[in-house]
Chain A
Amino acid sequence: MSLPTALRVENLCKIFGRVAAVDHLSCEVRSGELIGIIGPNGSGKTTLVNLISGFVKPTSGRILYNGQDITRTAPHKIVCMGISRTFQMVRPFYRLPAYKNMIIPLYSPRVRQLAGGQYGDRNAVALDLLEEVGFERDAHVAYKPAGTLPQGYLKRLELAKAIALSPDLLILDELFSGLSLAEVASIVPVIEKLRLAGKTIIMIEHRLKELFRIADRIMVLNFGQKIAEGAAAEVMASEDVKKAYLGSEE
């Protein structure tokens, strides 16, 4: 593939006290690619997402987005440059109805800029976006306070909030965790559609089967380091990965 590089991570380190959550990590994501990142719990996946989205600043190393250094850029600016992410721990505005949750990303400077400075009825756009991720159009769910929604809808809301920002690079942190097979199956087409629209997508996942079906490439983390990278079958055949997941005999 000779697609341009969307994201380049160079020698990235993040040390929390004595834990190296991300340890000298380098990787590249090409434009339009869907890359899956897997690894055991505590291997630094979420920390990597936090570093890319600017919520956590690295101890050392660099992050380049479309060739531009965003290592020290404020998180809201990174969003406005076209990177948006979901949280593994969903973060809705609990007291607001689901569709009102959407108003806040729709209010962002990025959306206004893309809409050419003017903006119509945010409520209508919000309901459209929710429908896209699987909120039934004529049901009441979209009008219920986010705090009362079941996990499946909260995850979809989280995805809709990220999509509302029209990102070029979308990072999904364990979007499928806690969802039933049927729910996952209903969200997969949404992701495939985004991909057809040319978005670059990074998916952190524990649900390997579903991930392998849609990912172009897999990267495996363990103790903050990259231990394997490549096509799904290749990666899972690697000794290091087997050890990381199944443990090794001492």
Chain B
Amino acid sequence: MKKRRERIDRGIKARSEDVYALCSWREMLYLAGPRLLPAAAFLLLPLFLGVYWQKVMISVAVFALLAMSWDLLAQTGMISLGQALFFGMGAYVSGILNFYFGAPPWIAIPIATVLGGALCTLILLPVLRLRGIYFSMVTLIVPLMLVRIIEATKIFGGTEGLSGMTPLPSTLTEIYLATGVLLGVLFGLRRLMETDYGLVLKGIRDNDRSVTNAGINIYWFKTQALFISSTIGAFAGAFMTHVYMFVGMPVFALDYSILPIAAAVVGGGGTLAGATLGAVILVPLSEALRGIGGLRIVLYGLFLVVFIVAIPEGLFDYIQRKYHQMERWVEIDQ
């Protein structure tokens, strides 16, 4: 008796996007599980973690936000190498509002989110017409330029930065603010990209001339995507200003540009959930490797390469595919 492995897609009606599909608890769980599980993990985990890992979790949330912000731009056909611009802009605006105007975090963070996002959008507006690598180069350079400007003009504390920011009330507040926004952005953006509006954004990536030929102003849509994306990044920065109680030149560091891309690539671009998953894996890994010292970067890089070679589609798509498939052994009669 020979056997062969057979792979079948789970054939419940639920996958046909129709309403009547939800006819049993099992099917409902099957559909809701992948959404509830990460949400529950983000909400419950902080209660059981020590202070150190709580800080790591905040870092995970911040990088997940930056990775999603990157992914949204990538889905609209703009490959950014400068998430640090969004992060740093939000961080400085919130810092300035708090330091010079005494705005409490509850006011400074929302204003910095919107204002920071608007400023980034304005800065990148002139290069929105650039395609491919030229757009990427500019996004890479702008944050580095801002650092030099702050250094040279000594504005906003110059190289010293601004310290003594008002902290958030407690570590738990910090965590729940970060994870709450993270979950909101994750589910919100995923839904947005499923709408016809999201389809237009993806169309711009696939074929911008065809979108223009459909009577749609691609630059206006790119501007909107850029604003949404930079707003998300600016929130992350504004938030961290009050976590660190400090803002200075490091907020424009390359880490904030590169790690989000690595996270999105490991988790799988184009899904937003992949970007989050990537951050959940890479940020703790980077922390765990901290003890090793100099070899850290080598190991980290090696891990990335292995990952990208082994699962080029990204981890999220891989898991999603496996989740919807069952494998079983079937007998073959000869």
Q: Is the CB of A53 within 8 A of B206?
A: no
Who on chain A is nearest to B208 by CB? A91
Q: Is the CB of B214 within 8 A of A161?
A: yes
Q: Which residues of B contact A (CB under 8 A)?
A: 196-197, 199-200, 202-203, 206-207, 209-218
Q: Is the CB of B214 within 8 A of A108?
A: yes
Contact mask for chain A residues 93-132; partner B; CB cutoff 8 A; 1 contact, 0 none = 1111000100111111111000000000010000000000
- Taking the nearest CB of chain A, how far is it from the CB of B165, in angstroms? 43
Q: In the bound complex, how far is the Cα of B217 from the Cα of A131, in angstroms?
A: 28
Q: Does A204 contact B (CB under 8 A)?
A: no
Q: Is the CB of B210 within 8 A of A165?
A: no
Taking A79-B214, A96-B202, A106-B196 as known contacts, 10 extra A-B pairs with beta carbons closer than 8 A to each other, sorted by chain A number, are A55-B213, A74-B217, A75-B213, A77-B217, A79-B212, A91-B209, A91-B210, A104-B200, A104-B214, A109-B216
Q: In the bound complex, how far is the Cα of B196 from the Cα of A110, in angstroms?
A: 16
List the A side residues contacting B215 at CB < 8 Å: 76, 79-80, 84, 105, 108-111, 165
User: Which of B197, B202, B217 is within 8 Å of A76, CB to CB?
Assistant: B217
Q: Does A45 contact B (CB under 8 A)?
A: no
- Taking the nearest CB of chain A, how far is it from the CB of B322, in angstroms? 22
Q: In the bound complex, how far is the Cα of B214 from the Cα of A106, in angstroms?
A: 8
Contacts A93-B207, A104-B203; is A84 near B213 (CB within 8 Å)? Answer: yes
- Give 4 closest A-B pairs by Cβ, nearest first: A79-B215, A108-B215, A105-B214, A91-B210
User: Can you pick out 19 interface pairs between chain A and chain B where the beta carbons lie within 8 Å of each other?
Assistant: A55-B212, A75-B212, A76-B218, A79-B212, A80-B215, A85-B213, A87-B209, A92-B207, A92-B210, A93-B210, A104-B203, A105-B214, A106-B196, A108-B216, A109-B216, A111-B215, A122-B196, A161-B213, A164-B214
Interface residue count on the A side (C-beta < 8 Å): 31
List the B side residues contacting A79 at CB < 8 Å: 212-215
Q: Is the CB of B199 within 8 A of A96?
A: yes
List the B side residues contacting A94 at CB < 8 Å: 206-207
Q: In the bound complex, how far is the Cα of B199 from the Cα of A161, in angstroms?
A: 15
Q: In the bound complex, how far is the Cα of B210 from the Cα of A161, in angstroms?
A: 9
Contacts A91-B209, A92-B207, A94-B206; is A107 near B217 (CB within 8 Å)? Answer: no
- Taking the nearest CB of chain B, how far is it from the CB of A243, in angstroms? 35
